[in-house]
């Protein structure tokens, strides 16, 4: 099997026993060959403990047996994705990649020089794609200990400087969007 491009996948709901493919083998391959840590939840009609343990041993993050309650499944999906996001080491959208461990930002193969504040601002925006974040939320995130008095317009200045570094046309941004009267959003879905 060739390695697919899976950086845009948030998580995988995987049937343990597929007709033409063994879900256990696929899960193992995702973890070992593809080196992916995307969240995987197994679904199976088999509820034997040894099957559940085997699925978890191979790298599944959770295991749901059939029949299942759709609300419970959605709650499990949200929980697994939230936990995975807390440990995410790399965030990447459309040629813009933020590497947490190295505190680096790359744009189309070129390393960007960001200030500490610009990096933290971009990280918070990219960690919450397609969500409107108010200036107050951004201030609280960038200055959590109220270490200095910060005005709303301070955020606007940081956004402007960040756009100059990551946007092709900073005056017509496509990544960091202003939502009038509310705040800013890191846009990854053009249909927003």
Tell me if 2 is assigned to some domain. Answer: no
The fraction of the chain above a pLDDT of 90, given in percent, is 47
pLDDT surpassing 90 at residue 107: yes
Same domain, 122 and 76: no
Q: What is the CATH number of the domain that holds 118?
A: 1.10.10.10
Tell me if 24 is assigned to some domain. Answer: yes
Q: Where are the beta strands (DSSP E) in 22-165?
A: 40-44, 62-65, 90-93, 96-99, 104-107, 110-112, 133-134
Beta strand 133-134 with 176-179 is unpaired
Number of domains in the chain: 2
Same domain, 30 and 79: yes
Tell me if 119 is assigned to some domain. Answer: yes
When mean pLDDT is compared across 101-105, 118-122, 160-164, the lowest value belongs to: 101-105
Tell me if 162 is assigned to some domain. Answer: yes
What per-residue confidence (pLDDT) applies to 3? Answer: 36
What per-residue confidence (pLDDT) applies to 5? Answer: 37
Angle subtended by helix axes 152-166 and 116-127, to nearest 10: 90
Tokens of residue 127, six digits: 């960690």
What per-residue confidence (pLDDT) applies to 191? Answer: 46
DSSP states along 131-151: --EEHHHHHHHHSTT--S---
Question: pLDDT grade, residue 85 (50/70/90)?
Answer: low
125: containing domain? 113-186
What per-residue confidence (pLDDT) applies to 1? Answer: 36
* Length of the chain (residues): 192
**pLDDT tens by residue, 164-174:** 999 999 999 99
Tell me if 82 is assigned to some domain. Answer: yes
Inter-residue contact 156 to 120 (CB < 8 Å): no
pLDDT surpassing 50 at residue 74: yes
Tokens of residue 191, six digits: 């249909």
Mean pLDDT of 74-102: 81
pLDDT surpassing 70 at residue 66: yes
pLDDT surpassing 50 at residue 142: yes
Tell me if 95 is assigned to some domain. Answer: no
Inter-residue contact 155 to 138 (CB < 8 Å): yes
What per-residue confidence (pLDDT) applies to 89? Answer: 72
């Amino acid at each position: 099997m060739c390695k697919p491009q899976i950086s845009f996948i948030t998580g995988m709901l995987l049937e343990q026993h597929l007709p033409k493919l063994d879900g256990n083998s696929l899960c193992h391959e995702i973890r070992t060959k593809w080196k992916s840590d995307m969240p995987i939840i197994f679904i199976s009609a088999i509820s034997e403990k040894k099957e559940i343990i085997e699925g978890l041993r191979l790298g599944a993050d959770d295991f749901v047996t059939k029949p299942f309650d759709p609300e419970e499944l959605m709650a499990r999906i949200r929980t697994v994705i939230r936990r995975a996001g807390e440990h995410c080491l790399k965030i990447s959208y459309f040629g813009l990649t933020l590497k947490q461990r190295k505190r680096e930002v790359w744009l189309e193969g070129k390393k960007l020089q960001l200030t500490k504040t610009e990096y933290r601002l971009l990280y918070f925006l990219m960690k919450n794609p397609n969500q409107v974040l108010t200036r107050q939320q951004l201030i609280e995130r960038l200055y959590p200990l109220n270490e200095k008095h910060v005005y709303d317009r301070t955020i606007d200045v940081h956004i402007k400087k960040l756009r100059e570094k990551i946007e092709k046309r900073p005056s017509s941004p496509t990544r960091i969007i202003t939502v009038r009267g509310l705040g800013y959003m890191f846009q990854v879905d053009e249909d927003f």
